[in-house]
Amino acid sequence: MEQQRILIVDFGGQFVQLIARRVREAKVYCEIVPYEQAAEEVWKNPPKGIILSGGPNSVYLPDAPRLPEAFFDTGIPILGLCYGAQLMAQLLGGSVSTPDRGENGRTALMPGPRGAQPGAVYPGHLMHDIAVDSCWMTHMDFIDAIPKGFTITAHTGTCPAAVMENHEKKLYAAQFHPEVSHTPFGKDLFENFLFEICGCRPDWILSDFALEQIEAIKEKVGDRKVLCALSGGVDSSVAAILTQRAIGDNLRCIFVDHGLMRKNEGDQVMDVYTRQFDLKVKRVDAGERFLAKLAGVTDPERKRKIIGEEFIRVFEEEAGKLFQECGTFDFLLQGTIYPDVVESGTSTSATIKSHHNVGGLPEDVEFTLLEPLRMLFKDEVRQVGEALGMPEGIVWRQPFPGPGLAIRCLGEVREDKLCILRDADWIFREEIAKAGLEREIWQYFAVLTDLRTVGVTGDFRTYDNVIALRAITSTDGMTADWARIPYQVLEEASKRIVNEVTGAGRVVYDITSKPPATVEWE
């Protein structure tokens, strides 16, 4: 059976990936395309339905993102959200303007146009049989006149046309954001659109995806060899196990241990790779090399660049040795996932060149990229890992930055500081696990600040390091709230860190959400 899909048109909205996640959660496959490519994509491969995302622009400005008017005449159901709703109205003969005040945040939504009877049900198809409390608005413009053929099915105190539709032409629009969790009925609205309006089937099953990808890798690679740079994270690990199932020992992996991982993590990862899955992995212990490069460096961006460049150099050296041992590798396996594709795009081939002072590889070695997870979100990658029988410790490993503890160790990165950070982080993670919260919290870790604090231990004054604990809840990592960890858990973690970690003198808890903060401190 041919794979059905929903096409999501990206107008630069901050929630576009969240729209895709909501569609995937309904077990319907979808893809995101920039608005400039949308018309061509629809003509080339018509989808079951189209969703137009929000965006930061005003539709009435001359340089605002546009679609051809014919885009709305294909007969394919279209749902416009926020900017997408306004664009639909503007292009089809309605009008959009700026009200006296916008709406931002939780907003009461009322059925029908203004003047509808109190207690009336929501008319139309998009809002059919939905129990509505409130919705989440983020707009400064609104639809003040709807196009001919449309009816208003909901309004707010500011928006006269918060929801409108032309069911005959299968066109639907909502000014609010059903994709965010703050719109409690958002799931129902998407299901109405996907199943009742578009006629989709809930057939996006991740266990089926794993089997299909194994067969696809077999067909693409054949008896040729694949090289993989393993990080120990869930994405590269799942990609490696998936590929091993397809081609066996023709996959060779290099695990560059930069010495910036969490306590015992390198050993744990290698145990899983070699003992449980018999992956052909070469571990490169390069911690001293990375620390030497980082000596005296305090700027976070310089840290990141140094670590990224040194990683490539170490990988090149070790790949060169494998070339001499095993012969040519035709493919480079990467754990690219869909947010990487959406945000930056990837090409179909990659060229790795030796640096002038690093030998090993030929002068210009070209690989074809192998990216079996490039259409999946992080939670979908985890589901594939579970379908492959991978252990929970790998599948549910927390997101971990490429530069590792270097950006959780503020200021200069030294081995003595890393030891303090590893031990504090270990204790925090142990206490979270004891409390049974490890699956409820998206990410939790310790940060070694670049601050010292006065304290008292026994009869002596101390002047030791400040440890910050960070824990967040999130569904996608794009926005996050600080985790409301029970006080007794924080208290136990704090007591243990101060008493058990030499050099730790004070513990603080970060209660800043994203935005305005980021997840990491650097």
Catalytic residue among 103, 155, 165, 177: 177
Question: Which of 402, 410, 412 lies closest to 309, judged by CA?
Answer: 402
Cα distances (Å, whole numbers) of residue 370 to 208, 336, 395, 484: 19, 9, 21, 40
Is residue 326 part of the annotated active site? The answer reads no
Q: Is the bond preceding 515 in cis, omega lying within 30 degrees of 0? A: yes
Domain architecture of the chain: domains with CATH: 6-197 (3.40.50.880), 206-395 (3.40.50.620), 414-509 (3.30.300.10)
Q: What pLDDT is attached to residue 152?
A: 94
Burial class (CB in 10 A: 0-12, 13-18, 19+), 116: middle
Q: Strand, helix or coil at 255? A: strand
**Beta bridge partner(s), residue 51:** 8, 79
| pLDDT score at 356 | 38
Going from the C-alpha of 81 to that of each of 86, 207, 478, the distances in angstroms are 8, 31, 19
Enter the tokens of residue 195: 């199943």
Beta bridge partners of 229: 254
CB contact at 8 A, 124 and 79: no
C-beta neighbour count of 198 within 10 angstroms:
21
SS (HEC) of 70-136: HHHHCCCCEEEECHHHHHHHHHCCCEEECCCCCEEEEEECEECCCCCCCCCCCCCCCCCCCCCCEEE
Is residue 190 classed as helix, strand or coil in its secondary structure? helix
- Listed in sequence order, the residues at least 6 apart from 347 whose beta carbon sits closer than 8 Å to its beta carbon are 369
Ordered DSSP codes for 468-510: EEEEEE-SSSSSBEE----HHHHHHHHHHHHHHSTTEEEEEE-
Structure tokens at 101: 């005040």
Please provide the DSSP assignment of 2-30 as one string: PPP-EEEEESS-TTHHHHHHHHHHTT--E
Hey, what are 258's tokens? 């930069």
**Is residue 82 flagged as an active site residue?**
yes
Could you say which of 179, 191, 316, 371 is catalytic?
179
> What pLDDT, on a 0 to 100 scale, did the predictor assign at position 456?
78
Give helix 206-221 / helix 234-247 axis angle, nearest 10°: 60
Q: What are phi and psi of 69, to 5 degrees?
A: -60, -30
**Residues near 208 by Cβ (< 8 Å), separated by ≥ 6?**
none
* Residue 318 token pair: 């070790």
Q: Contact at 8 Å (CB) between 81 and 52?
A: yes
DSSP string computed for 306-330: HHHHHHHHHHHHHHHHHHHHH----
Q: Are the C-beta atoms of residues 180 and 170 closer than 8 Å to each other?
A: no
pLDDT at res. 455? 85
- Residue 115 CB partners (closer than 8 Å, separation 6+): none
Q: Distance between CA atoms of 492 and 316, rounded to whole angstroms? A: 45
**pTM of the full predicted structure?**
0.80
* C-alpha closest to that of 404 among 510, 304, 295: 304
**Within 10 Å of residue 228's Cβ, how many Cβ atoms?**
26
Residue type, 228: C
| 13 contacts 39 by C-beta, under 8 angstroms | no
Catalytic site residue 363? Answer: no
- CA distances 291 to 16, 231, 478, Å, are 39, 18, 31
Backbone Cα Rg of the chain: 26
Walk along the chain (522 residues) in steps of 10 and give the mean pLDDT of each run: 85 89 94 93 94 92 91 95 95 87 82 73 89 84 92 90 95 94 91 97 91 95 93 90 95 94 91 87 95 96 92 90 87 88 55 42 69 91 92 84 93 97 98 93 95 81 92 77 96 97 96 89 92
Backbone angles phi, psi at 365, to 5 degrees: -105, 125
Q: What is the pLDDT of residue 387?
A: 92
What was the pLDDT predicted at 101? 73
Tokens of 324: 């001499």
Q: What contacts 139, CB < 8 A, 6 or more positions away?
A: 82, 102, 103, 104, 159, 175
Separation of alpha carbons 239 and 187, rounded Å: 30
